[in-house]
Chain A
Amino acid sequence: MNIAVAVRLMPKAGDELEVAVSGTDIDRELVEMVISEFDDQALEEAVLLKEATGATVTAVGLRAEGIEQALRVAYARGADRVVVVDAGDIDPFDSRTAALAFAEALRELAPDLVLVGVQTPCDLFGQTAPYLAVALGWPQANVIVGVSVADGTARVTQEYAGGRLAVLGLPLPSVVGVQSASAPPRYVSMSRLRQAMTEASTETLAVSVAAPAGASTLVSLSRPEPQTGATMLDGDGEQVAERIIAILRERGALVH
């Protein structure tokens, strides 16, 4: 069985985001782009499936600054192949055209199962899993928290509001949007990462896509206005703690 994992990039968690001078992008000089957190979960689920079934895992990313590094991390974590898809320049918010580029690459790679994170934090124009499913004509399920494969069928656990769960069967080939892997993503040592840097041989695949007609236009990015206007508590840890205790007493929220 061949499993493909779509790898997208996002700013590293905790990096402060500034709007670029253009007003329609973040200032990318200020952030480090890393594998998006749900794709990280999808990659882990793919590697768990590889360990369970002997499948081959191919990590696929679109050409962008930082993608080769992210794909080498995927290799260090257990991917067997890494492929950079060159579809020309795609706007970082244009998740729809990006999904079409992934779909073109996946037609070439012909995997049995595609795993991709449920979303990235900049999927403004749509999530990848449903777009891939429509483009490829394959069944899909999104918001998945566990995958197993037997007899040509992927059994996926889908999560609903309030933590309700159900198991669905998807015939292969199919597309699965992963919210969380069956186990937390594994730790990779620095020495393994360094080894992967020299071992991983990146393949390149050129595809041609056109942005769909009638698409939306991103007018501007901005910081949100505070909704409630939080009262900010100043001071060091002790002063803040004293203020919080005083507020809790005032509001009758302390049991002691």
Chain B
Amino acid sequence: MGDVLVYVDPAINGRLLAFARPLADAAGGSLVALVASGEPSGVDGLEAADVVLEVSHPALSPYLPEAHQAVLAAAITARAPDLVLVENTTHGYDLAAAAAAAAGLPFVGFCIGLSLEGGTAQSISEVYGGQLQATVRTSLPAVFAMNSAALHEEPGGPGRGERVQLPSPPALEHPRTTFVEPLLPPDAGVDLTTADLIVCVGRGIGGAENIEIAAELASALGAELAASRPVVDAGWLPKVRQIGKSGASVRPKLYLGLGVSGAPEHVEGMQGAELIVAVNTDPGAAIFNVAHYGAVADLFDVADELTELLG
């Protein structure tokens, strides 16, 4: 059996490597970490890897999708791994499917589980915002994108830790894409990551005119008001109040979700809460899969009653 190649997103730690360790052991191959960076680096969290493939070039930092895709494609060609794993960060969205297409390999996304049997992988993916799961069988070699919420920082045993410098692919000399500037998100004086109590509204809040109902409850609780992505995309609350993959990652004492469906991208940002209480009219809402307490009820009834009881 062959190797397991993991693309390491430098912004995150080695949790994908920890996930991949038992797969490499099962496959009888090496766990290979690919690190693409601006200069020979001190990326931490690679202890689990048997081989660290390093590609260093100025075009790789700051991040350009085109440059990192060229490196991933070159590494796949050089190592011919059985499995390629990429985490579903922005880098994953840019690179994973593109690398698979460029290498002529199958690709499976939104994965939360993966096992190997002979030359075949069986994987489970979250589809339709986590409402359903898809079981997929794929002939190896193949590329898989793992949902971040499925990855846990459980350190495995250390790998061999060999370091191999790969030559940078020619595409890096003249990338078409240019880095213009970093942008700082607007600081609106809200920091959800330090909040002890959070009231989070989802699409079920229905419209901007109903936000006040949740704001009153948040105020009565002494909680910060937060939202899932559809609420922010609709302009009902500002971006600074968004929880999830593209917003804040929070670990409050209480997360009270009102009309939040529980899409994987949202769950990724709130599943570390100590206590999760969810109210949704849909008994099949995925949020109930991660909640400690749930109620199939009208959020407006519950919010009004809570505000009154707390008042």
Known: A139-B177, A143-B93, A169-B178. A96 touches B107 (CB 8 A): yes
Contacting residue for A227 out of B12, B284, B290, CB 8 A: B290
Please determine whether B93 and A118 come into contact, CB atoms closer than 8 angstroms: yes
Question: B79: CB under 8 A from chain A?
Answer: no
Chain A residues positioned under 8 Å from B221 (CB to CB): 254-255
Q: Mark A136-180, 1 if CB is under 8 A from B, else 0.
A: 000111110000000001010111111111111111000001011
> For the complex, what is the distance from the CA of A222 to the CA of B113, rounded to whole Å?
14
Please determine whether A168 and B178 come into contact, CB atoms closer than 8 angstroms: yes
Please determine whether B222 and A256 come into contact, CB atoms closer than 8 angstroms: yes
> For the complex, what is the distance from the CA of A166 to the CA of B275, rounded to whole Å?
34
Chain A residues positioned under 8 Å from B135 (CB to CB): 218-222
Please determine whether B292 and A231 come into contact, CB atoms closer than 8 angstroms: yes
Chain A residues positioned under 8 Å from B90 (CB to CB): 142-143, 158-161
Please determine whether B291 and A142 come into contact, CB atoms closer than 8 angstroms: no
Please determine whether B185 and A130 come into contact, CB atoms closer than 8 angstroms: no
> For the complex, what is the distance from the CA of A125 to the CA of B143, rounded to whole Å?
10
> For the complex, what is the distance from the CA of A13 to the CA of B228, rounded to whole Å?
14
Question: A216: CB under 8 A from chain B?
Answer: yes
Q: Number of contact residues on A: which range applies?
A: 35 or more
Chain B residues positioned under 8 Å from A162 (CB to CB): 248-249
Q: Mark A217-256, 1 if CB is under 8 A from B, else 0.
A: 1111111111110111111111011111101100111111
Please determine whether A253 and B249 come into contact, CB atoms closer than 8 angstroms: no
Question: B78: CB under 8 A from chain A?
Answer: no
Please determine whether A130 and B93 come into contact, CB atoms closer than 8 angstroms: yes
Please determine whether B197 and A253 come into contact, CB atoms closer than 8 angstroms: yes
Chain B residues positioned under 8 Å from A141 (CB to CB): 65, 94, 177
Please determine whether A215 and B134 come into contact, CB atoms closer than 8 angstroms: no
Question: A210: CB under 8 A from chain B?
Answer: no
Query: B residues 18-43 with Cβ under 8 Å of A?
Result: none
- Determine, out of A14-22, A63-71, A190-198, the stretch whose residues face the partner at the interface: A14-22
> For the complex, what is the distance from the CA of A107 to the CA of B284, rounded to whole Å?
42
Binding site for A on B (CB under 8 A): 11-12, 62-66, 69, 89-90, 93-98, 100-102, 104-110, 122, 125-139, 142, 176-185, 196-197, 203, 221-222, 229-230, 232-235, 239-240, 242, 245-249, 253-254, 256, 274-275, 277-279, 282, 284, 286, 288-298, 300-302, 304-306, 308-310
